[in-house]
Amino acid sequence: MPDYYVDGEEKFGLLTTSFYSIFAWRLLKKLYNFAIYEFEGLSPETILDIGAGPGRLTAMVAKKFPDAQVYAIDPSKYMVDAERKLFKKENLRCTCEQGSSRDIPFNINFDLIFSSLSFHHWKDREKSLEYILGRLNKGGVFIIIEYYNEYYKSNLSAYKRHSLSKKYAESLNYDGYEKTIDVRGNLIALKFKKI
């Protein structure tokens, strides 16, 4: 089985997967609701969650868009196992496999791709962005949801280390894509729409 991590990226094993599956999602409800808000007005037929973790947000998205084909990837085999268990328990039609921002294992393009609290882990973000944007259908949207870096004053904050700065988001521009940035409190959404 291939290793989907790049040297230096945080790896999620059995212990961290268990923590995220049991506890962390409860702390992330505000972020999940923000993400769902960012999907308003969309009507995707194909959806991909990159860095899906244990699949809590993916499950919410599958319920919001019940007619869509929903896919989830994560580089951790333990997270993929947790996703499959959750989707089976909630009787959701979601396909999940190991993959990464550099390696999407499905041979289709997507109307909606999103990534929440994953982007800050990626080592070669610009290369990953180019690859992901190339996997959008025309009119498709890629949305990155992260904690908003400038909201946190202390560099010691775990949130600040796991965040996206507006300045960096503003520097990312790609021909053929319309970019928007939405900041609400301590959260930021960076969107690219293929035009």
Q: What is the pLDDT of residue 56?
A: 94
Helix (H, G, I), strand (E, B) or coil at 61: helix
| Residue whose entry in the numeric block shows the structure tokens 């212990």 | 15
Using CA atoms, how far apart are residues 138 and 140, in angstroms rounded to an integer?
Answer: 5
Please tell me the CATH code under which domain 14-194 is placed: 3.40.50.150
Tell how far CA 110 is from the center of its chain.
14
Stated pTM of the model:
0.91
Q: What is the pLDDT of residue 27?
A: 78
Q: What is the pLDDT of residue 9?
A: 63
Using CA atoms, how far apart are residues 51 and 11, in angstroms rounded to an integer?
Answer: 11
Using CA atoms, how far apart are residues 51 and 62, in angstroms rounded to an integer?
Answer: 16
How does DSSP classify residue 149?
Answer: G
Using CA atoms, how far apart are residues 159 and 13, in angstroms rounded to an integer?
Answer: 21
Using CA atoms, how far apart are residues 148 and 160, in angstroms rounded to an integer?
Answer: 8
User: Each residue of 22-48: pLDDT tens digit?
Assistant: 666 677 899 999 999 999 999 999 999
51 torsion bin: left (phi>0), alpha (psi -120 to 50), beta (else):
left
User: Each residue of 47-61: pLDDT tens digit?
Assistant: 999 999 999 999 999
Beta strands in 75-135 (DSSP E): 94-98, 110-116
Average pLDDT of every residue of the chain: 91
Domain boundaries, the chain: 14-194
With 0-12 CB in 10 A as exposed, 13-18 as middle and 19+ as buried, what is 170? exposed
101 residue type, one letter: S
108 residue type, one letter: I
Q: What is the pLDDT of residue 76?
A: 92
